[in-house]
Every structure is written in C-alpha cells, then in structure tokens.
Amino acid sequence: MSKKQSEEKNMILYLNKFNKEINITKSVFDKFDLNKSEYLQIDEKNPNKLVVLDSFFGEDKIVKDVCRYILEKKDCKWQIKAHNENHPDFHSLNFNDQHLNYKDGIPCIILLLESPHKNEYTVNDFKPIAPAQKSTGTKIKNWLNEIIKINCQIFKLEKNKYKVILLNPVPYQTSLHYLLTDQKNKLISTIRDDTWKTIWEQEFKQNFNKKIKALNPVLILNACTKELQPFVQYELCKHFSNEKNNIDSYLISHPSSWSEQKFKDKKPYHV
C-alpha cells in the first residue's frame, strides 16, 4: 500500500453521540467546514479524526413529521387538497403543514422519505423547517395524486377521505450537508448511508415501529432511497404484515426522481 493510500484510509469521521467511526478519504475530510465549531471539531489526540458533536443531533435538530395533504374522492375522482394554512411551528414557504393528529378519526396514508437533507433546514442557522421542501415537495404536490389515480385499484382505498403524512424514519440530517464547506456540494451518499444506518439502529427503529402502530395507516409508500429502503421495509414486513397488524406497504422511488415517464414505466411494488 502506498503512503497516499494509507493516508486516505486512515481519515475518520466520528459521530460522537453514537460512538460510530466512519472511514473517509482525505478529499472528503477536507470538504468539512471547521468554522462550524458548534457542531464539528478535530479530535485533540488524532488530527486525522473529525468529530461530529452531539449538538448536531440534538432534539432541536429533528425535522418533525407532518400532515401535508388531504386526499378526497369526489365524483369518482381522487383530489389532493392542501390545508388552508401552515401551522406556525413549521416554516415551509410553499406548503401548508399540520402536526400529526392521532385522534381525529381520519384514516391516513404515509409517505416515507428516509431523512431530511439540505433544503429541510434554514441555510444560515440550521433550524429544522419541515419534510420535503423545494423540488422534492413540489414533485410530491404534482405527482402524488397521479400515483393514487393510476394505482387506486391496487391500493384498495375504500374510504372517501384520507390524510397524507410525510415521515422521515430518521429525522436528522444524516447527509451532514450543513457541515460541508461548500453548500453547493453534492450529497456524499456513503456518509449519508452509514450515518443513517447507525442512527436508525441506535435511536429510531423502535420509535418508528411505535409511531406506525399509533398512526395505523391503511397504506404506506416506502420512498426511501434504494440503499436504505430495505431496512425500513424489513421492519414493516416484520411487524405489520400479519393478521393482527395488516398494513399494505409498497416500494416506490424517492419523490426527487418522480416524473411522468417514471410512472408509465414502473408500478409500485407490493411487499
């Protein structure tokens, strides 16, 4: 092994709260912004170890799940309707979100999104906004109704009214995008995936199962990205595909990739 290869291999990103080391290259190491010392610092004993502090994964950094739409059937046609106003706890610019209501008696459809990324936080001070902002949110707005319409027989929606809930199985920014020097940098998927898996196992897997049970949806669309989708689907199949808790769940592409051609070519996959 060359000296350069050795140096590349020995760089470490350490998630302090979860006691997790992620091996990274020097080029990735250099993408992180050490000026964001509230969340990031070099380890005192190892200059090749970059520590993500507990504050980055604090309770105040969770992007909360929301009820974004009401799905109604009128004159044999499905229509997605937005809420009249945005709850003041959420700061979406283009979407009207409401807190989850577990007792309103309206059956729900859950769209699983994986984890929030750069657009789900404010740019300057890293405050949570809400799930699925900007283009991802716009594609949900434009295409979710079409998905329901095309697959209404498959989905077996027997009621005339449903609430649509957007839910991140891991509600932290697992891409660590805010910590990068250049905010225009593309997502580093290996970091996102390793961070997501760690937090999922240690903190949110059991919480996710409890939340699904409490919401008791009639339909779940698992739109997590391909690498992480199976982890969530395993839990859904394990706990909610039986006589006692039989919830229909489908694998579907992440909303960021939704398009007319996508739905012509590929149907949701029932699990």
Please give the single-letter amino acid code of residue 120.
E
- Non-local CB neighbours of 167 within 8 Å, separated by 6+ positions: 65, 110, 111, 112, 113, 131, 211
- Non-local CB neighbours of 263 within 8 Å, separated by 6+ positions: 143, 146, 147, 150
**What does the pLDDT read at residue 187?**
74
Distance CA 228, CA 205 (A): 13
**What does the pLDDT read at residue 262?**
59
| Residue-by-residue pLDDT tens, the chain, 271 positions | 445 544 455 799 999 999 999 999 999 999 999 999 999 999 999 999 999 999 999 999 999 999 999 999 988 888 999 999 999 898 877 899 999 999 999 999 999 999 999 999 999 899 999 999 999 999 999 999 989 988 888 888 989 999 999 999 999 999 999 999 876 667 788 999 999 999 999 999 999 999 999 999 999 999 999 999 999 999 999 999 866 677 899 999 999 989 865 555 556 656 5
Distance CA 268, CA 264 (A): 11
**What does the pLDDT read at residue 259?**
80
Cβ-contact 245, 213 below 8 angstroms: yes
Q: What is the pTM of this model?
A: 0.91
Cβ-contact 117, 173 below 8 angstroms: yes
Cβ-contact 83, 70 below 8 angstroms: yes
SS3 95: coil
| Packed helices 229-240 and 205-215: angle between N→C axes, nearest 10 degrees | 50
> For the chain, which residues make up each domain, given as ranges?
3-56, 60-270
